[in-house]
Amino acid sequence: MQRTVVGAFDLQTSQGWLQRLERELQHFRATPNDRDAAINFFVAAESMLDWKNPGDQSASLRKTIRDSEPLLRVVWDLASLSKHLQVRPQHDSVDASGVFGELFGGSFFGGQFFGTLSVKLKGPAAAQFGPSLSAIELAERAVAYWRVHA
């Protein structure tokens, strides 16, 4: 008997994936400089577009949506860079990611003494959001976007 599997571990809809994304955000907030939590979040956030518009027949739609929304480009770049370990020509929104503002580069207050996991932006993303955002702020913006669009 052949069975068609939709989703895994009881995740079968974009709303279910959004709930998962919100749990990833909660974990990331609890450990804001944890690179693993950041990568887990952004890979999950990138998958929202697949859950909202599934299948090979929606590939061009997903690309159109991603290309029209700088936030989704940043999420895609971060997810892709974390999986493929190299910059490709299509990575046009992220200039760098890491801990910036350490010790002498940042403030001694507000969590900046040890630096903040951040993303330096370029292109349309930098024009929309400024030259950099903390990874947490970017994650919160991504969840807010998907709460409206999921």
Residue 5 lies in a domain: no
Range of the domain at 59: 14-149
Q: What pLDDT is recorded for position 111?
A: 46
For residue 6, being part of any structural domain is answered with: no
Number of independent structural domains in the chain: 1
Q: What is the per-residue pLDDT across 20-45, written as a single tens digit (0 to 9) for each?
A: 999 999 999 999 999 999 999 999 99
Q: Please state the rounded mean pLDDT for residues 120-137.
A: 95
Q: Where are the beta strands (DSSP E) in 47-111?
A: 94-102
Instruction: Give residues with Cβ within 8 angstroms of 73, minimum separation 6.
Output: 66, 67, 92, 93, 123, 124, 125
Q: Is residue 89 part of a domain?
A: yes
Q: Is residue 3 part of a domain?
A: no
H or E stretch covering 147: helix 135-149
Type of residue found at 134: S
Q: What is the pTM assigned to this prediction?
A: 0.83
Contacts of 47 (CB under 8 A, 6+ apart): 17
Examine residue 78 and state whether it is found in any structural domain, yes or no.
yes
Q: Please determine, for residue 13, whether its predicted confidence score (pLDDT) is greater than 70.
A: yes
**Using CA of residue 82, residue 87, residue 93, residue 95, what is the dihedral sign?**
positive
pLDDT at 72 over 90: yes
